[in-house]
Amino acid sequence: MKATSATFVRNEMLAPSAPPSTEAGPIKWMRENLFSSPLNIVLTVLGVGAVVYIVMHIAPWMLRGVWVAGTLSECREIIQARYGEGVTGACWALIRDRWQQYLFGFYPSELYWRPVLAFVLMLAAIAPVLFDALPRRVLWFTLVYPAVGFWLLWGGTVWVPVMALAGFVISYVAAKIVQPIAGTILATIAAVLTPVLWWLFLAGPAADAAQSVIPIALEGVRSREFGGFILAFTIGFTGIAFSLPLGVMLALGRQSDMFIVNKLSVGFIEFIRGVPLITLLFTASLLLNYFLPPGTDFDIILRVIIMVVLFAAAYIAEVVRGGLAALPRGQYEAADALGLDYWKAQRLIIMPQALKISIPGIVSTFIGLFKDTTLVVFVGLLDPLKGITDAVRASTDWKGVYWEPYIFVGAIFFVFCFGMSRYSMYLERKLKTDHR
């Protein structure tokens, strides 16, 4: 009998085998991150023990809290009636009773809709900046939002913010007219001087004339009535929005070959970074009026915003300068090879890469800036952490309460700061094109 052989050809792939349990899933993550070495094991055990100890002592106090009460003494009576004599618990009724004050300060209650609307419109304005999937035409609203937000928060005639926006239009037109005739340098000077002259001498009379013809106004609100998180958001987000472009310009000025521009930028950055923010706030509150014409009413919040913007811009300038220094020289040479002038090279090649490198430092500066808004309490403004809390505890109903307001304010600050850090990580992942 003749032996025969047959070939076998598999027509489908075998399913991959599951990896060992120690090399996948939570067990692998714990081995690599928590128990990778004897030192890591000790630190993990100590860390877990500390967390358990803190939670065991704080969680019962928080969970025994009372949400419905009229005074602190009533809170304590309710807690002792429920859990026995000597037992303590959180008095969350303070937050329930005074949450409007923490959010709006002493803003008139009948006008709460204005800061709420301003906040909603702010989210709509920053959305196209943060997410490029949105239509680019929405950026026009982003550009005009500062005037809209100012009018909603402070009220008064609508023509004041309109004339303020007109200054930027005048700056753009002046630069376009002067550049073909006298070059970039004089066009830049014209772009800076024309809006300043407009704002100082012509914007006020123009606003009064427009108001007399078309009277559109909201009820005015004084800056001293601002407080709480409406004050923190106003100062913080305005500082973030204006300090970034100013910081970029200072970073470019510090690297400039023009002697005057370079030395002015270096002097400004080093001076601001060498002075505490609280000193600048006192300068804004007490000294700035001495340099203004007699009778000038320079709003205190505006003064604080200017100082906060200058302070943050100096730090952002150094962060951006680090990003510029990290770029290889070949990027500059590539821009020269393409025949791009200085501004096109910065806009199209250099600055996008430098800003991508600088994202962690920029966001860290923004988070610090937002938290530093609590320092305005030293110049008489009611920040949410100290100013409003002291105002609430001055009431005999809540005198003696301590931890609850700080936990509430800290939680809100954490939510916004954590959101900024998460967005920073999202942006870094999205722009990480180096090793794809």
The angle formed by the CA atoms of residues 372, 355 and 335, to the nearest 5 degrees, is 155
Q: What is the pLDDT of residue 7?
A: 65
Examine residue 306 and state whether it is found in any structural domain, yes or no: yes
Residue 339 gets the label, from left (phi > 0), alpha (psi -120 to 50) or beta, of: left
| pTM confidence score | 0.84
Backbone φ and ψ for 67, nearest 5 degrees, come out as -105, -20
With respect to residue 4, please indicate whether it lies within any of the assigned structural domains: no
Distance between CA atoms of residues 191 and 373, nearest Å: 31
Residue 409 belongs to some domain of the structure: yes
pLDDT digits (tens, 9 = 90+) for 64-118: 888 888 888 888 888 888 888 878 888 898 998 889 999 998 999 899 999 999 9
For residue 436, name the pLDDT band (cuts at 50, 70, 90): very low
Using a pLDDT cut of 70, give the percent of the chain over it.
95
Which pLDDT band holds residue 8 (cuts at 50, 70, 90)? low
What was the pLDDT predicted at 17?
Answer: 76
Cβ atoms of residues 301 and 232 within 8 Å: no
Is 428 within a domain?
Answer: yes
pLDDT at 435 over 60: no
Provide the domain limits for residue 102.
97-107+224-436
- Cβ neighbours of 213 (radius 10 Å): 8
The per-residue pLDDT for 421 is 92
Task: Supply φ then ψ for residue 319, to 5 degrees.
Answer: -65, -45
Total number of domains constituting the chain: 1
Q: Which residue has the higher pLDDT, 363 or 23?
A: 363
What letter does residue 285 receive in the DSSP assignment? I
CATH number, domain containing residue 343: 1.10.3720.10
Q: Considering the domain boundaries, does residue 70 fall inside one?
A: no
**How far apart (Å, rounded) are the C-alpha atoms in residues 105 and 388?**
7
Q: Are 152 and 119 in contact (CB under 8 A)?
A: no
Q: Are 79 and 103 within 8 A, CB to CB?
A: no
